[in-house]
Amino acid sequence: MKKILIFLLAFASVQLYAQDLNHYKQIVKELSSAKYQGRGYAYGGANKAGKYLKKEFEKTGADEVICQPFKLNINTFPKKMEMSVDGRTLTPGVDFSMREYSPGVHGTYKLYYVDTNHYDAAKMFSDLAKPEYKDCFVVCDFWFSYKHYEDFQKIWGGTSCNNAGMIQTWPPLLKFYKAYGERVMGKPVIWATSDFPKDAKTITVNIDNKFLKDYECFNVIAKVQGRRHDSCYVFTAHYDHLGNLGKDVFYAGANDNASGTAAIVTLAAYYVQNRPEYDMYFIAFSGEDANLRGSEWYAEHPIVPLAQIKYLFNIDMIGDNNPVQYCEVSDEGMSGFALFEKINDEQHHFKSLNRGELAGNSDHYPFAVRHVPCIFFENEEGDAFKYYHTVHDTYENALFDTYEPIFRIVREFVGRYN
């Protein structure tokens, strides 16, 4: 009977965890579906996702769920997204994408190729001043133009050069960003794959942009009450993503960051069932891909003083399988990091914890610079990481290996941290 009881208890524990994993996958699948159009702004996808998450937190039995509104400015590409080279049609998101600060552009344009083997900036600008290259698109390798930034800034950002725009070639898979889309620059910049034709004559483009000013977003905040209210733990993840590249293409963002968002919902569900010593706050941020707007707003307008945060966990892009866990830690969080390493050495959740330099790359940063003890988890260099910020970051390409060890190491840390 004793053996049977032990087996039943173990089975119940496994079943409880399996249910968490199923719930986790369900949330990732939902958030990365076409319903939310990449959780961006052009079609209201981010706010639709936020409303869904509010309901999910309420279903966990959280004691309080609120929305914290804020506004942002963002450039979007909601409608026409067409490009052809010498009559050959290219596919948005696969063959080309837009730099996020670009205006719309419509028409047929000549192409000017930069001679990167015998580069001469004076000759390039002399060529571009000729009548035959008026309103052309300049074509150059991205990294070469980055190396010669001061020269090429005049081409894509200034008015001294009479070109119409620029094409920067980049090895596939093509990325798309939003963080610097808070403004629109004077000329369109298009990213194209490195197999873009080397001797084409013209491009035809039909690309619409729409700049959204004072766009209303919101953070979703759930509270699980503990036995003590003088301090709290905070779990964060961003639920927004890149949205659309034209009306037919969206960036699903299964790994980035439906994966982290789903994790904090299931953590909330766990702590509802296993009441903690301290209050717990679970914050799903919007506006992360628009330069950390949601977390910055919260850090400036916290619902509890930042000084009361015992530790903050920011979970981002864990839909992967790298057994080495990348993390960043604030100065005030380093004593806690020693405990994370001790737990990992004892329980082998990961082969190792790879601590990188603190950077403004996710929602922990506004808290770190305000002296909050915090850690950032991001799974880099796994098999799904290559799809980061591409149209291929879909539920079908997401992996779920990292969820369980993240869940367990965080849970163990909370139980042992003083």
Name the pLDDT band for 167 (thresholds 50, 70, 90).
very high
For helices 2-31 and 259-273, give the axis angle rounded to 10 degrees: 140
Looking at the chain, the domain(s) classified CATH 3.50.30.30 span: 81-207
Tell me, what's the pLDDT at 6? 43
Q: Please name the residue ranges forming H helices in 79-238.
A: 121-128, 142-147, 149-156
Half-sphere exposure in the Cβ direction for 417 (13 Å, CA) = 27
For helices 334-347 and 403-416, give the axis angle rounded to 10 degrees: 120
Who has greater pLDDT, 18 or 358? 358
pLDDT in tens, 337-373: 999 999 999 999 999 999 999 999 999 999 999 999 9
In 3D space, the residue among 13, 16, 24, 100 whose CA is nearest the CA of residue 315 turns out to be 24
Name the pLDDT band for 14 (thresholds 50, 70, 90).
very low
pLDDT in tens, 153-163: 999 887 778 89
pLDDT in tens, 119-147: 999 999 999 999 999 999 999 999 999 99
**Considering the domain 81-207 in this protein, what is its CATH number?**
3.50.30.30
**What single DSSP character describes residue 85?**
E
Tell me, what's the pLDDT at 351? 97
The mean pLDDT value of the chain amounts to 94
Tokens, residue 351? 């082969």
Tokens, residue 147? 């190396």
Please list, in sequence order, all residues whose beta carbon lies within 8 angstroms of the beta carbon of residue 188, skipping any fewer than 6 positions away: 98, 99, 102, 103, 104, 105, 164, 165, 166, 205, 207
One-letter identity of residue 99:
R
Tokens, residue 285? 């941020």
Name the pLDDT band for 406 (thresholds 50, 70, 90).
very high
C-alpha 314/C-alpha 298 separation (Å) is 14
Q: Tokens 């808290």: give the residue.
A: 367
pLDDT over 90 at 282, yes or no: yes
DSSP string, 295-321: HHHHHHS-SS-GGGEEEEEEEE---S-
Tell me, what's the pLDDT at 20? 87
pLDDT over 50 at 10, yes or no: no
Give the mean pLDDT of 98-127. 96
Half-sphere exposure in the Cβ direction for 185 (13 Å, CA) = 21
DSSP string, 341-373: HHHHHHH-SSSEEEE----SSSTTHHHHTTT--
Give the mean pLDDT of 77-91. 97
Written out in words, the top-level CATH class of the domain with range 20-76+213-416 is alpha beta
Looking at the chain, the domain(s) classified CATH 3.40.630.10 span: 20-76+213-416
Number of H helices, E strands in the chain: 10, 18
Tell me, what's the pLDDT at 223? 98
Name the pLDDT band for 19 (thresholds 50, 70, 90).
low
C-alpha 34/C-alpha 243 separation (Å) is 10
Give the mean pLDDT of 177-186. 89
pLDDT over 70 at 12, yes or no: no
Half-sphere exposure in the Cβ direction for 47 (13 Å, CA) = 13
